[in-house]
């Protein structure tokens, strides 16, 4: 690691927010220094409690995160916020508006807010988020709130990095809920029906409770703790239901801690993380080899022209790279 | 390849539908014979024209595919249909109903219909679909229609395997459209607003035309051919708008063929395909190594207990596996 990065890490660990911001940029850009940064801060990680807040666009996640942040600050805890929007190409305006609303916290040194949008490959976003959580954790934040627009696989992967995952829906989510049900049920530890003063809120709450109930009666895989997923209601912009949400999050946290489920969840997550990094590193290595070795590039060209099938090509590439043959 | 599979391939290539069905099952299950099956049929592929039909649940994709199939059959072409539903765990009923509706074709030897649902990992579904397209192609089908519930990354990956992609929406899709806009605009060659007799159809058509227009005026990456994406309307269950859809598909096909864009798209797809297979094979190889080598498993355990960070672990795993070190 170059001296400058080393100095940044030291300044960050002693509480310099500017150094923190610059290190986040380096891991987000997958700078060559990223592995060493994470290696250096690793001993200081594992203390922050991570809450994921996910749901469709327009569900009011940002307002809820904003109110939760204020409440946690009132209790004296320090808070880091990561707002991830993989589709921000199309909703840049909304994200900007949300961030402006969050500015009430910008003069508060106990709050650090960071927005992230897709940079290149989506897989990279989950990696950048994981590393940023570690940086905020090492920096000493008591809580890290990760807000994601929950739609596809990427967002679910990001949600899985949380200790407690809150899924936010609104009466308007209708079709969206339908589409995301499977994935959301899988990651939700808590449901919040936001904008609960609007028509359709009660039927949605009833439907969610019914889904939760079915889920618990054995249609799906058993969960790791005895926890009946609560279905709360809120009106974040009027600051209603936010205290109840924090109580539920704290209840869930206490349950995970008392049953050691927190540690086993974190272990599973670390295992998942290293395997993903492994595949990604292999992918990088192969891409590098394909670029630098004309024999390998020639095999790809044959596939591209339809002269060779993919399976034969992969077997040849493995043999050139001196790797054990994949399942023949 | 065992003798039985070899015999199946020969029977399939000479027109045996039962052999075709069994080979599809083998590639779908990622049977050890899959690579050899694809290798054997490869010289017979590349002739079928592949149309993807994607959109949210309830858009009427199955009815549309059904009507298109009937129309193509009237013209004397043979048709293969692949219906992919990654969320079928929750919508099994609907798929079943759709398939029953398709049974008008089951006595027609010119039509072959296959449903696919998630089996294990979602990545496997895109692979199974790609291999099944190749089998239907080698079997001699003139057209392969691939119907997917278009939501997340997987479905978009599947849609990318088509030569022409039709995106089906309904006035009710509202929120869903909002969520999928980015991805759908990316893959759509044609839009169909189905159930066009329902309220809200006209505003949706206007909105889509506007989006298409914006797309073409340079807000996004340039497309490979000069093609203004048509926005059609249909009422599939009343057989309205289906002929117009087929005309538009044929127009698009002719354009791709006359500009050689078809070949360049297929080349890009084959390149993508081999790279995905490469990553998947690497993943399998690593998983195998982790299971069989206790030293590697020990490194994973250290990460799992939080004693080692992922980047350090990956560097060690690479060194044990004798791979070139990933970007340090």
B54 vs B37, higher pLDDT: B37
In a domain, A131, yes or no: yes
Residue B150 burial (CB count, 10 A)? 30
User: Which candidate, A82, A83, A1, places its Cα nearest to that of A41?
Assistant: A1
Give me the mean pLDDT over the B256-266 stretch.
90
**Interface contact B264, partner A, CB < 8 A:** no
Indicate the DSSP class of residue B30. Answer: T
Residue B174's pLDDT is what? 59
A303: chain B residues, CB-CB within 8 Å: 270-271, 273-274
Length reported for chain B: 328
Across the interface, whether the CB atoms of B32 and A328 are under 8 A apart is answered yes
Residues whose CB is less than 8 angstroms from the CB of residue B80 and which lie 6 or more positions away in sequence, other chains included? B48, B111, B112, B113, B114, B136, B139, B141, B143, B144, B145
B20 with B161, same domain: the answer is no
In a domain, B93, yes or no: yes
B13 with B57, same domain: the answer is no
Residues whose CB is less than 8 angstroms from the CB of residue B35 and which lie 6 or more positions away in sequence, other chains included? A311, A312, A315, A328
A94 with A159, same domain: the answer is yes
In a domain, B272, yes or no: no
B142 with B173, same domain: the answer is yes
Of A286-290, B26-30, B33-37, the poorest mean pLDDT is in: A286-290
* Coil vs helix vs strand at A179: helix
Whole-angstrom distance, CA of residue A71 vs CA of residue A87: 29
The CATH number covering residue B177 comes to 3.40.50.300
pLDDT category at B224 given cuts 50, 70, 90 is low
Q: Which ipTM value was assigned to this complex?
A: 0.81
Question: Does residue B151 have a pLDDT over 60?
Answer: no
CB under 8 Å, gap of 24 or more: what pairs does A220-226 form?
A220/A185, A224/A261, A224/A264, A224/A265, A225/A255, A225/A256, A225/A259, A225/A261
pLDDT category at B91 given cuts 50, 70, 90 is very low
Whole-angstrom distance, CA of residue A146 vs CA of residue B18: 51
Task: Output the CA–CA distances (angstroms, integers) from residue B201 to B183, B194, B231, B232, B233, in the order listed.
Answer: 21, 8, 11, 11, 8
Whole-angstrom distance, CA of residue A64 vs CA of residue A53: 9
Boundary of a domain, candidates B222, B239, B259: B259
In a domain, B129, yes or no: yes
The shortest CB-CB distance from A285 to any of B153, B289, B326 is to: B326
In a domain, A253, yes or no: yes
A152: chain B residues, CB-CB within 8 Å: 151-153
Tally A–B CB contacts below 8 A. 181
Residue A171's pLDDT is what? 85
Question: Does residue B218 have a pLDDT over 60?
Answer: no
Whole-angstrom distance, CA of residue A112 vs CA of residue A145: 10
A3 with A140, same domain: the answer is no
The winner for highest mean pLDDT among B39-53, B140-154, B211-225 is B39-53
* Residue A120 CB burial class (10 angstroms; 0-12, 13-18, ≥19): exposed
Whole-angstrom distance, CA of residue B257 vs CA of residue A226: 59
pTM of structure: 0.70
B32: chain A residues, CB-CB within 8 Å: 327-328
B288: chain A residues, CB-CB within 8 Å: 324
A88 with A165, same domain: the answer is yes
What total of structural domains would you count in chain A?
A: 2
The shortest CB-CB distance from A326 to any of B153, B176, B285 is to: B285
B51 with B191, same domain: the answer is yes
| Closest CA of chain B from A71, distance in Å | 30
Residue-wise pLDDT tens digits, B170-182: 887 655 555 455 5
Give me the mean pLDDT over the B234-241 stretch.
92
In a domain, B115, yes or no: yes
Quote the domain boundaries for residue B180: 45-259
Give me the mean pLDDT over the B243-272 stretch.
92
**Interface contact B260, partner A, CB < 8 A:** no
Across the interface, whether the CB atoms of B270 and A35 are under 8 A apart is answered no
Boundary of a domain, candidates A259, A289, A318: A259
B308: chain A residues, CB-CB within 8 Å: 42
Residue B150 near residue B156 (C-beta atoms within 8 A)? yes
Boundary of a domain, candidates B243, B259, B275: B259
**Interface contact A92, partner B, CB < 8 A:** no
| Closest CA of chain B from A53, distance in Å | 17
Across the interface, whether the CB atoms of A57 and B326 are under 8 A apart is answered no
**Distance between first and last Cα of chain B:** 41
A8 with A109, same domain: the answer is no
| Closest CA of chain B from A277, distance in Å | 7
Residue B233's pLDDT is what? 95
- For residue A152, give the chain B residue with the closest CA: B152
Across the interface, whether the CB atoms of A286 and B279 are under 8 A apart is answered yes
**Interface contact B117, partner A, CB < 8 A:** no
Across the interface, whether the CB atoms of A32 and B270 are under 8 A apart is answered no
In a domain, A300, yes or no: no
B326 vs A56, higher pLDDT: A56
A1 with A101, same domain: the answer is no
B34 with B138, same domain: the answer is no
B91 with B15, same domain: the answer is no
The winner for highest mean pLDDT among A49-53, B101-105, B209-213, B315-319 is A49-53
Low-confidence ranges of chain A (pLDDT < 50): 88-98, 120, 122, 179, 216-222, 328
B132 with B221, same domain: the answer is yes
Residue B219's pLDDT is what? 35
* Residue A225 CB burial class (10 angstroms; 0-12, 13-18, ≥19): middle
In A, residues 268-327, which contact B (CB 8 Å cutoff)?
268, 270-271, 273-275, 277-279, 281-286, 288-289, 300, 303-306, 308-315, 317-318, 322-324, 326-327
Across the interface, whether the CB atoms of A306 and B271 are under 8 A apart is answered no
In a domain, A248, yes or no: yes
Indicate the DSSP class of residue B50. Answer: E
The shortest CB-CB distance from A270 to any of B285, B304, B322 is to: B304
């Amino acid at each position: 690691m170059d001296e400058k990065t080393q100095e940044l890490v030291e300044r960050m660990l002693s509480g310099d927010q500017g150094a923190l911001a610059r290190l986040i940029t380096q891991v987000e850009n997958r700078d060559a220094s990223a592995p060493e940064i994470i290696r250096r801060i690793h001993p200081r990680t594992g203390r922050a409690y991570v809450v994921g807040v996910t749901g469709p666009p327009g569900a009011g996640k940002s307002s809820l995160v904003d109110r939760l942040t204020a409440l946690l600050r009132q209790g004296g805890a320090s808070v880091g916020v990561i707002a991830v929007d993989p589709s921000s190409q199309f909703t840049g305006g909304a994200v900007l508006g949300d961030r402006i609303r969050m500015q009430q916290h910008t003069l508060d040194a106990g709050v650090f807010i960071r927005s992230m949008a897709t940079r290149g490959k989506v897989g990279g976003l989950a990696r950048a988020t994981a590393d940023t959580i570690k940086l905020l954790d090492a920096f000493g934040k008591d809580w890290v709130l990760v807000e994601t627009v929950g739609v596809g696989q990427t967002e679910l992967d990001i949600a899985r990095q949380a200790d407690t995952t809150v899924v936010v829906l609104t009466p308007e989510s209708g079709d969206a809920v339908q589409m995301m049900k499977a994935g959301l049920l899988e990651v939700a530890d808590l449901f919040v029906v936001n904008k609960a003063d609007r028509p359709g809120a009660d039927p949605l709450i009833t439907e969610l409770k019914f889904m939760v109930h079915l889920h618990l009666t054995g249609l799906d895989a058993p969960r790791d703790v005895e926890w009946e997923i609560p279905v709360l209601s809120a009106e974040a912009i009027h600051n209603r239901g936010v205290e109840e949400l924090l109580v539920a999050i704290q209840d869930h946290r206490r349950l995970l801690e008392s049953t050691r489920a927190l540690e086993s969840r974190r272990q599973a997550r670390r295992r998942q993380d290293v395997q993903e990094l492994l595949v990604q590193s292999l992918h990088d290595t192969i891409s590098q080899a394909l670029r630098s070795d004309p024999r390998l590039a020639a095999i790809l060209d044959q596939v591209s022209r339809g002269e060779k099938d993919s399976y034969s090509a992969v077997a040849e590439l493995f043999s050139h790279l001196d790797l054990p043959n994949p399942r023949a």
